[in-house]
Chains A and B, each alone.
Chain A
Amino acid sequence: MKNFFLAFTLIFSVLLSSACVDKGGTNNNGSTGDGAGDIKVGVYGDTTGATSSFGLSTKNGIQLAFDEINAAGGVNGRKLQMIFEDDQGTPEKAKTVISKLISQDKVVAVLGEVASSNSLAAAPVAQEAKIPMITPSSTNPKVTEVGDYISRVCFIDPFQGSVMAKFAANTLKAKTAAILGDNSSDYSKGLTQFFEQEFTKLGGTVITKQTYAQKDQDFKAQLTQMRDQKPDVIYVPGYYGEVGIIARQARELGMNQPLLGGDGWDSPELWKLGGAALKPAYISNHYSADNPAPEIQNFVKAYQAKFNTAPDSLAALAYDSAKVLADAIKRAGGTDSAKLKDAINQTKNFAGVTGTITLDASRNAVKSAVVLELNPAASKFDFKETIYPEGMTAPTTTPNTNAMTNTMSNANAMTNIIGNHGRGQ
């Protein structure tokens, strides 16, 4: 009996630790794919795992951008070709597939991932192989700290966390908050930290912090604990799969406080999982599909026509990342990786769907964020307000990031402020 259990324990530990170690052959000289023919761009994301709506949106957004670019004659006369790999939403797989894209498919650049933990696992591979990687939507500051070949077209968590804290303190007049974070995600841990910092600075108190792990099924234990402390708002910086259930279970326990979250909630699946429990709730996000600005509406229309679904912010960011890459290839005059990297990092005042993109010295985009109110009855996010980084003033006309071009003179000031936030942790 004892021997049997020993043997079983051994087998099981081997099974559990069978994390895929794939170093791949990343010994390429950084100038692959140059010359004639199609330009191969690697894209990786989760299309079959727990966050698969993120990967599908990203893939669609990039596909749409590439199709538009190719229809208009391509980049420097060459067509863009997407090579997609599914990483099932796990950091181990992300590392494996990016190695495959770089060493076997010889892509000139990589776009991905959405979840910060996956981007963090894959980024060192791209950096080592000197292949530029643009993450459309990973917001954890550490991602671009990996090296100069890694950049992003979205804002970072110090800003996103502070946006929700400001909204809670200023608009919702909340004095106390509870946080329920996903302890297995770098994204969630970052947001938890920055929300707490800003909320405390604004005079609020975080009265309790609880955590869960991705794929947990039951959150009532944590929620019951919070219920007694009667927080004004509950901040849940997680991904849509768990958030929907958390909302349901909170309402079942009679907790009717506003739930606050981030861009990780943005998925068509959220409505099915959370239903009517998702009210009142607010999230910070990158753009609002309701924005009447023509460049946004054109994008929304084209996406809707092609994929028969409304684009979420991850699709919009992916679209922007593909356009930024194409623009950089054009400016670099080819796909030589060092020149391409420099061209990407010098991106300035690029007019994207999610706002004007300028990369700062840490290769992060400095942009404003929108706060959206959840409307489960119509299964959509309603625009609530725009929050700008410190030092950046609101434009007078459109209620969105696109009008930001007017304020580009403030870009340096913003960069400093965000940079300080980033270094603060």
Chain B
Amino acid sequence: MDTFVQQLINGLTIGSIYALIALGYTMVYGILRLINFAHGDIYMVGAYAGFLLATQVFNSEPSIFAFVIVLLGSMLIAAIIGMAIERFAYRPVRKYSRMTTLITAIGMSLFIEYLFVFIFSGTPRSFPQLIPNDNYTIFGNATISTSQLLIFVVSILLMIALQYIIFYTKTGKAMRAVSFNLNSAKLMGINTNFVIAFTFALGSALAAAGGVLTAQYNPKIEPLMGIITGLKAFVAAVLGGIGNIPGAVLGGLLIGAAETLVVGYGSNIGIPSTYRDAVAFAILILVLLIRPAGLLGSNVQEKV
């Protein structure tokens, strides 16, 4: 039982990160019907922004304050980069077919990855510890570390903030309107370009938060770290129902828990731990076969 609880904690930790990234995929899809492939790389950009802030700009003793500054700083930087990508790569091709934008997104993703390889080289960098790491025993033998707690607390806070922005602010209302119908929203006097840019900023900031939180938990960052994590977050978004915000969170947690339990218990039923990634994608295929719209993705009204 201890082991099961421990595995669940492990799984929900990475699941929370997937959820944070999946939110960005799902919001952009909700508004533009675009799979933003560069989104996984924004997660990486966020980690590097945090790394530069923590080592070059704000090099201080570990403290909660240092962590908050680095987290907010990298979210801001990523938001700006996300908006820039939208403005210079996606907006010019938005009027063409959806396939054009999709291919632009793939190109953007490769561009960011190899730009970072060029600038920082592929060497893994170690992210400084911003908060002293401790372990707390919570259930029998099951432990949780400070960095894991941080992941839970910060992602829950961010998700509450996101929910507030979408349902209780004017911009949020505009986002929901645009996701219903972009052209009608434009006719109603909504500045759709602003709303789209804002959505990219929100999604990118969440991904960057995921990047910094992961780097606290696992202090190794490298330019291609966003590929697999981004793909799994995308699977999480599809699993929950792409375009659906609670679905993205649910999907992220499920994928995280599923792959951890495969490693933990798969060997008992003949699935070696190497198949952890295969499981995420097998789930994607199953969901697409059985429920093409995802777990929560029926005709939900509040698509964003």
- A residues adjacent to B (C-beta < 8 A): 1-2, 4-5, 7-8, 11, 15, 46-50, 52-53, 88-89, 183, 210-213, 215, 217-218, 220-222, 224-225, 227-228, 241, 244-245, 248-249, 252-254, 269, 272-273
> Please, which residues of chain B bring their CB within 8 A of the CB of A11?
102-103, 106
The answer, yes or no, to whether B99 is at the interface (CB within 8 Å) is yes
Q: From B7, B11, B14, B123, name the one whose CB has the most chain A CB atoms within 10 angstroms.
A: B123
Question: Taking chain B's interface residues, is the majority helix, strand, or loop, or is none over half, making it mixed?
Answer: helix
Instruction: Give the size of the chain B interface in residues (CB under 8 angstroms).
Output: 47
Contact B106 A15 (CB under 8 A): yes
Contact A48 B121 (CB under 8 A): yes
Q: Once bound together, how far apart are the Cα atoms of A252 and B35, in whole Å?
A: 37
> Please, which residues of chain A bring their CB within 8 A of the CB of B14?
217-218
Known: A213-B277, A217-B218, A225-B3. A8 touches B123 (CB 8 A): no
Contact A221 B123 (CB under 8 A): no
Q: Once bound together, how far apart are the Cα atoms of A222 and B259, in whole Å?
A: 11
Known: A48-B121, A217-B218, A228-B3. A252 touches B273 (CB 8 A): no
The answer, yes or no, to whether B246 is at the interface (CB within 8 Å) is no
5 contacts between A and B (CB under 8 A): A15-B106, A52-B121, A218-B10, A227-B141, A248-B219
The residue in chain B whose Cβ has the minimal distance to the Cβ of A208 is B267
Q: Once bound together, how far apart are the Cα atoms of A273 and B256, in whole Å?
A: 24
Name which of B157-165, B166-174, B221-229 contacts chain A.
Answer: B221-229
Q: Once bound together, how far apart are the Cα atoms of A211 and B273, in whole Å?
A: 6
Contact A215 B143 (CB under 8 A): no
**Chain B 204-235 against A: per-residue CB contact (8 Å), 1 yes, 0 no?**
00000000001000111010110011000000
> Please, which residues of chain B bring their CB within 8 A of the CB of A245?
218-220
> Please, which residues of chain B bring their CB within 8 A of the CB of A213?
274, 277
Contact A47 B121 (CB under 8 A): yes
The answer, yes or no, to whether B298 is at the interface (CB within 8 Å) is no
> Please, which residues of chain A bring their CB within 8 A of the CB of B214?
217
Shortest CB-to-CB span from B139 to chain A, Å, is 13
The answer, yes or no, to whether B62 is at the interface (CB within 8 Å) is no
Q: From B103, B276, B293, name the one whose CB has the most chain A CB atoms within 10 angstroms.
A: B276
Contact B6 A253 (CB under 8 A): yes
Contact A222 B123 (CB under 8 A): no
Shortest CB-to-CB span from B3 to chain A, Å, is 5
Known: A50-B124, A220-B10, A273-B219. A8 touches B264 (CB 8 A): no
> Please, which residues of chain B bring their CB within 8 A of the CB of A252?
133, 135, 143, 145
> Please, which residues of chain A bring their CB within 8 A of the CB of B293?
1
The residue in chain A whose Cβ has the minimal distance to the Cβ of B146 is A252
- The residue from B126, B229, B272 contacting A272, defined by CB atoms under 8 A apart: B126
The answer, yes or no, to whether B263 is at the interface (CB within 8 Å) is yes
